Amino acid sequence: MQGNLTALLITSFIVLTVIIIGFIAGRDKASRSSVEEWSVGGRRFGALLVWLLVGADLYTAYTFLGLTSQAYSSGSLAFFAIPYTIIAFFISYFFLPKLWKVSKIHKLTTLADYAKLRFNSRLLSLLIAVVGVLMLIPYIDLQLAGIQDTLRVAGTGYININVVVILSFFLVALYTFFSGIKGPTYTAIIKDILIWVIMLFLVVSIPIIHFGGWGSMISKIVTETPELLTIPTTGPRGIPWFLTASLVSGLALFMWAHGITGVFTAKSSDALRKNAIYLPLYNIVLILVVFLGFAAFHVLPEGSDPRFALLNLIQVSYGGVVQGLAYATIALASLIPCSIMAIGASNLFANNIYRDFINPKVSPAKLTMITRSMVFVVIGLALIFGMLFPTALVSLQLMGVSGMVQIFPAIVFSLFWKNQTKEATIIGLIVGLVVTFTASGTGMTFGIYEGFWGLLANVLALIILNPIFVKRVKSNIVMDQLFTEQNIEVELRKNA
């Protein structure tokens, strides 16, 4: 299908404007003076900025395109995105403030940094860093796929899609290298405003355009395709899959490098508590976007590609101006999370692999430059991987969730369990990863999300083996601070 030149020009103008703003955000040299400044903004962001940043980080183009695609092809299974984010935000209220306090005192910028100090273990830190980097590449690829699909619908017949995608991601890598976390933070403001305005406009107007209103649309769905509104009770993706996928995804959400990067930018633990309370507001948009997938099922021709459900629905519903605004919103929901993900992955590689194992004597200035430069490597690998294996991205990202949740016991349990040992934690992590990938590779999941089996094995191994090694536990400064609230508050006042 031919693209729309007006839509393409509007999309290009908005995206280029936002990229320029990303460069302007980092014009102060202080934003790249150290790893802490570049990657977490010196931890000076208030509750509103953190809310916008984490929202921009977690609600990506894959969220909107993927949800409508899943709703189009699998019905109400798409609703699993709602409970999983609620689970994530609820538990984050209790553990993120405590994790933030330790990171603030010791200037930590990754979860691997925390694990190294908490357990006196560079091996555990390395495992977490390797898992974090490897699982994040397919996630960045999905952002590539999001903008690639958007440009394909908007620009077919006018541009070379691959060339424009490569150019777009190079510009994002460049402004991320230049501005650090400040670039995606300030551009996230524009992206989030567009999401709220444009997505709400779509969910209000599309039912009116094609069905005469929401009531008529729901009535048509209930009458003609009631299967879209029910979750299967049997099969590989039934209610057990829905429940375990929601739980695992919720526990994994803030284990991602990009998720914790946004968290570590906060200027106080109270900002994170407020964040946990107000982040579920984004779910208002998510719930309604799922219904756009149901609408697309009835509006688009039979046999349409589910991957383009939302984009094609926009194309057949509006003229070029609205198309351009909608496509620009989706494109920004690809590019801005990509920037934050690249910062998270670069941080893990430079700090927890290069510094800890390759060059421990590296100077702070050189480490900062290496961290910043890794952005080009990470995004470059994602581009290459995405173009070589385009059909594997979604399945790899789902595997990524199952992989990332395996570090949950190492991070969250250790914030509250004083006698948790590094030996049992490392074994549990390895067992969890092996079980997860074995279950996925053999297909023997028994209708359960594969990450759940891995997490179950991980936790059981940790609980069973921990008593064997508990006598080896030696207290350190992080443990003293974690389990003596007075000590940690004193240290925070010193660092204020």
- What's the confidence (pLDDT) of residue 140? 80
**The domain containing residue 84 runs over which residues?**
5-392
Q: Is the pLDDT of residue 314 over 80?
A: yes
- Per-residue confidence (pLDDT) for residue 286, from 0 to 100: 81
What are the pLDDT digits (tens) for 103-133? 888 888 889 999 999 898 889 999 999 988 8
Residue 11 scores a pLDDT above 70: yes
Query: How much is the average pLDDT of 207-215?
Result: 89
The residue type of 20 is: I
Q: Give the CA radius of gyration of the chain.
A: 22
Q: Which residue's entry shows tokens 């299974």? A: 77
Average pLDDT over residues 304-314: 84
Q: What share of the chain has pLDDT > 90, as a percent?
A: 13
What's the confidence (pLDDT) of residue 487? 63
Q: What one-character-per-residue DSSP string does 86-149 give?
A: HHHHHHHHHHHHHHHHHHHHHT--SHHHHHHHHHT-HHHHHHHHHHHHHHHHHHHHHHHHHHHH
- The structure's pTM equals 0.86
User: Which residues have CB under 8 Å from 44's CB, separation 6+?
Assistant: 265, 267
Q: Indicate whether 1 pLDDT > 60.
A: no
> Closest Cα to residue 106, out of 438, 471, 491, 405?
491
Q: Is residue 434 part of a domain?
A: no
Quote the strand ranges of 76-175, DSSP E: none
Q: With respect to residue 297, please indicate whether it lies within any of the assigned structural domains.
A: yes
pLDDT-based confidence at 425, cuts 50/70/90? very high
Contact 45, 53 (CB under 8 A): yes
Contact (Cβ atoms closer than 8 angstroms) between residue 39 and residue 371: yes
Residue 484: Cβ-neighbour burial (10 angstroms; 0-12, 13-18, 19+):
exposed
pLDDT in tens, 332-343: 888 888 888 888
pLDDT of 164 over the 80 cut: no
Could you tell me which of 398, 428, 453 has the C-alpha nearest to residue 135?
A: 398
Sole residue written with tokens 């830190």: 125
Return the pLDDT at 458.
95
Sequence letter at residue 103 = S
pLDDT score at 495: 59
Q: Crossing angle of helices 422-442/450-469, nearest 10°? A: 160
Name which residue leads in pLDDT, 469 or 281.
469
- Give the percent of the chain with pLDDT over 70: 92
Note the pLDDT of residue 156.
66
CA 446 to CA 241: how far, in whole Å?
9
Is 415 part of a structural domain of the chain?
no
CATH of the domain at 291: 1.20.1730.10
Question: How far is it, in rounded angstroms, from Cα 455 to Cα 436?
Answer: 8
pLDDT-based confidence at residue 405 (cuts at 50, 70, 90): very high
Per-residue pLDDT averaged across 144-151, rounded? 78
**3-class DSSP assignment, residue 26:** coil
Q: What is the mean pLDDT of residues 301-316?
A: 84
| Domains of the chain: total | 1
On whether residue 453 sits in a domain, the answer given is no
482 vs 89, higher pLDDT: 89
Please report the pLDDT score of residue 284 as a whole number: 81
Per-residue pLDDT averaged across 294-320, rounded?
85
Domain membership flag for residue 291: yes
Q: What pLDDT score was predicted for residue 409?
A: 95
Greatest distance between any 2 Cα atoms in the chain: 70
Which residues are CB-neighbours of 475 under 8 A, at least 6 positions away? none
Alpha-carbon 463 to chain mean position: 29
* pLDDT 10s digits, 360-396: 888 888 888 888 888 888 888 877 776 666 555 455 5
Q: Give the per-residue pLDDT at 148.
A: 77
Is the Cβ–Cβ distance between 62 and 288 less than 8 Å? no
The two tokens of residue 96 are 């993120």
Q: Which long-range contacts (CB under 8 A, 24 or more apart) does 150-153 make?
A: 150/11, 150/61, 150/311, 150/327, 150/330, 150/331, 150/334, 151/8, 151/11, 151/331, 152/3, 153/1, 153/3, 153/308, 153/311, 153/312, 153/314, 153/315, 153/327
Task: Give the residue-averaged pLDDT of 469-485.
Answer: 80
pLDDT mean over 66-70 = 83
Residue of higher predicted confidence among 326 and 382: 326
Flag whether 197 is in a domain: yes
pLDDT band at 289 (very low <50, low <70, confident <90, very high): confident
The whole-number pLDDT of residue 453 equals: 92
Distance CA 249, CA 155 (A): 34
Asked whether the predicted pLDDT for residue 491 surpasses 60, the reply is no
Q: Which residue has the higher pLDDT, 486 or 205?
A: 205
Considering the domain boundaries, does residue 84 fall inside one? yes
> DSSP letter at 443?
-
Per-residue model confidence (pLDDT) at position 494? 61
Given a contact cutoff of 8 angstroms between Cβ atoms, the answer to whether 187 and 332 are in contact is yes
Average pLDDT value for the chain: 83
Residue 458 lies in a domain: no
Of 416 and 237, the structure prediction assigns the larger pLDDT to 416
